[in-house]
Amino acid sequence: MSANQFFRAVFIAVVTVVAILAWQPGEVQAASLQIRPLQYRESLKAGESKKGFVDVSNPSATSVSVQLSLQAFRQIDNGERLQFYDSEIIRRGILLDLTEVDLGPQEAVRVYFVIRGDILPQGDVFAALFATTRVEASEGIAPSARVGTLLIIENTQPGPRHVDVTAVRTSLLQFGETINGIVTLRNTASSDKPSGFYPKVQISLRPIAGTSQNLEAPLVMAGVTRDVPFELLSNRVGLYRLTAVSGDSSASKWVFLVTGYWRWVLLGLLVLAGALAYAYRVLRYGRHRYIRRSPKQLPGASELHAAPLEITRKPSVPAENVVQKIPSEARIIPPELPQITRAEPAKPKPAVLQKPAPAKLKKAKLKTKLKTRPKAKSKKSKTAKSKPKAKFQK
């Protein structure tokens, strides 16, 4: 690629990006909304009506249009979620003074409502008041925000109030500032008729210096099983029985506690016990402890086990140098055993074939011939026969 082609490609890319940014519509800000309180609880007598209110505010920098509505709700998935649905009797029994209002930036409004006990069904009534926003932009509609307040109403005679404490779940060892766990509650009422309440639960520790703490569980509707977490302050050490009681139902579990300041007390006791054990060892055995081993335990001394050991003292060495008597410590010096060294096997020498020298063989043959051959007469004997001695020629 040449230089002109490269600059042309860069120019086209820049123009394309600028065109895309210029074509996109203006930024759309999602509206936000706040409502207070989140829960509204009320009790009504027979035929009584009461007035309440909620505050709706717009914390955003844009104007919003707020729509107000009412729905009924129930718990599903063991109280983990709420299901909202339309109910005509809720709309007629709870009257709103406003159904729609416009809020500018940083504005708020108070919405009043009237609860009519003569129209609502007797027992427990569960409703929700919702505030929904919608912001119109130049091109398109921003996502709406929806917030609400739960209305829990007891009209005349409330529904059944009974839960079973099915379990207390916590770890066996509790080490920290508090005791943490979960209590499982089940509303035994029938789910055919809406009912629910906030059960009271008492958490207690027994048997030593028993203590207890009361807490209010969240809403548990009919036929729902719900887990309720708890946290109990404690300064204890030892084995205790943790009990959860709600009405005439209870459940318990044994736990070992090291909580509060007892954590540091127990840590200090452990450090002190370790220091005392080390000091006792130093005073009794000295800083270096020698362990005497039997000849059987020494490596390579199995052959010397049968042979008696002879311990001799050199007369030149005084007894004081052999055993030092120290009042605070004594050292046991094991007897010195002779070291056994195994001889290495002899390496085989390479075989060399040696031929006998030929000169030696010839000498051997000559010796054998001389033994068999008769003795030769000397020259003196020959001359003696040819020339007799002078004494025989007289």
CA dist., res. 179 & res. 242, Å (int): 10
Is residue 123 domain-shared with residue 38, that is, in the same domain?
A: yes
User: Per-residue pLDDT tens for 153-177?
Assistant: 999 888 889 999 999 999 888 888 8
Is residue 150 domain-shared with residue 187, that is, in the same domain?
A: no
Give a yes or no: residue 120 inside a domain.
Answer: yes
* Whole-number pLDDT of residue 62: 85
Residue 205 contacts residue 241 (beta carbons within 8 Å): yes
13 three-class SS: helix
Is residue 136 domain-shared with residue 45, that is, in the same domain?
A: yes
* Whole-number pLDDT of residue 381: 46
179 three-class SS: strand
Is residue 126 domain-shared with residue 188, that is, in the same domain?
A: no
Is residue 192 domain-shared with residue 116, that is, in the same domain?
A: no
* Whole-number pLDDT of residue 61: 86
Lowest mean pLDDT among 4-8, 20-24, 136-140: 20-24
> Over 70: is that where the pLDDT of 93 sits?
yes
> Over 90: is that where the pLDDT of 311 sits?
no
* Whole-number pLDDT of residue 242: 92
User: Per-residue pLDDT tens for 316-328?
Assistant: 545 454 444 445 5
> Over 70: is that where the pLDDT of 239 sits?
yes
Burial class from Cβ neighbours inside 10 Å (0-12, 13-18, 19+) for residue 317 reads: exposed
What number of other Cβ atoms are within 10 A of residue 162's Cβ? 14
What's the number of domains the chain is made of?
2
Across 24-106, the runs of DSSP E, i.e. the strands, are 34-36, 39-44, 49-58, 64-76, 81-85, 94-96, 100-103
> Over 90: is that where the pLDDT of 275 sits?
no
Q: What is the CATH number of the domain that holds 227?
A: 2.60.40.10
Give a yes or no: residue 252 inside a domain.
Answer: yes
CA dist., res. 218 & res. 115, Å (int): 23
Tell which of 244, 259, 274 closes a domain.
259
Is residue 196 domain-shared with residue 133, that is, in the same domain?
A: no
- The more confidently predicted of residues 312 and 225 is 225
Is residue 111 domain-shared with residue 139, that is, in the same domain?
A: yes
* Whole-number pLDDT of residue 27: 36
**C-alpha angle 168-191-166 in degrees, rounded to nearest 5:** 10
Confidence of residue 300 (pLDDT cuts 50, 70, 90): low
Is residue 60 domain-shared with residue 149, that is, in the same domain?
A: yes
Residue 102 contacts residue 31 (beta carbons within 8 Å): no
User: Per-residue pLDDT tens for 184-237?
Assistant: 999 998 888 888 999 999 999 888 767 888 999 999 999 899 999 998 888 888
Choose among 286, 281, 283: nearest CA to 333.
286
* Whole-number pLDDT of residue 315: 54
DSSP-derived secondary structure letter, 172: S
DSSP-derived secondary structure letter, 136: B
Tell which of 130, 155, 180 closes a domain.
155
User: Per-residue pLDDT tens for 372-394?
Assistant: 455 555 444 444 444 444 444 43
* Whole-number pLDDT of residue 341: 60
Percentage of the chain surpassing pLDDT 90?
A: 33
Average pLDDT, the chain: 75
* Whole-number pLDDT of residue 382: 47
Residue 62 token pair: 């844009």
Is residue 45 domain-shared with residue 149, that is, in the same domain?
A: yes
Is residue 108 domain-shared with residue 69, that is, in the same domain?
A: yes
Is residue 44 domain-shared with residue 149, that is, in the same domain?
A: yes
Residue 56 contacts residue 111 (beta carbons within 8 Å): yes
Give a yes or no: residue 16 inside a domain.
Answer: no
Look up the domain containing 93 and give its range.
Answer: 34-155
Q: What average pLDDT score do residues 89-118 get?
A: 92
For residues 190, 191, 193, 197, the Cα torsion angle rounded to the nearest 10 degrees is 80
* Whole-number pLDDT of residue 289: 52
Place of tokens 């709700």: 73
Give a yes or no: residue 169 inside a domain.
Answer: yes
* Whole-number pLDDT of residue 202: 92
Percentage of the chain surpassing pLDDT 70?
A: 62
Give a yes or no: residue 21 inside a domain.
Answer: no
- The more confidently predicted of residues 247 and 359 is 247
Tell which of 121, 155, 189 closes a domain.
155
Give a yes or no: residue 289 inside a domain.
Answer: no
Is residue 52 domain-shared with residue 140, that is, in the same domain?
A: yes
Confidence of residue 95 (pLDDT cuts 50, 70, 90): very high
User: Per-residue pLDDT tens for 9-56?
Assistant: 666 765 565 455 444 443 334 457 899 999 999 999 988 999 999 999
* Whole-number pLDDT of residue 280: 82
**C-alpha angle 153-58-42 in degrees, rounded to nearest 5:** 10
